[in-house]
Amino acid sequence: MKYMVNGVDCWYNKEEGYFINDIYKDCNRIELKNPYSVREVLSTLRKINYNFEKGKYTTNVKEFMDASIFEVINRKTGEYVLQLELIEE
């Protein structure tokens, strides 16, 4: 499965928490065999120079139960860091 890696402009407010204000399309492209594997997603992103500290990030793909679009999230704060959008199965 091929994904477009999108940058995000994330905002925070007390009522909603973090939310995505804007998306910057097509920063990079990656291939994933299993997007439901957080380890595979983060490992693949690290290979293309995203410096994700181990244990600090996760994804919300399992919450949505849909691998067509999901985000990488800071585990501690809940802040959205990147968005992955399926472009080819």
DSSP letter string over 45-89?
HHHTT--PPTTTEEESHHHHT-TTEEEEEETTT--EEEEEEEEE-
Residues 7-61 pLDDT 10s: 999 999 999 899 999 999 988 999 999 999 999 999 999 999 898 999 999 999 9
Q: How far apart are CA 54 and CA 52, in angstroms?
A: 6
| pLDDT confidence tier of residue 65, bands split at 50, 70 and 90 | confident
| pLDDT confidence tier of residue 66, bands split at 50, 70 and 90 | confident
pLDDT of residue 1: 95
Cα atoms in the 13 Å half-sphere on the side-chain side of 29: 6
Give the tokens for residue 32: 């994933």
What is the pTM (predicted TM-score) of this model?
A: 0.91
Domain residue extents for the chain: 2-88
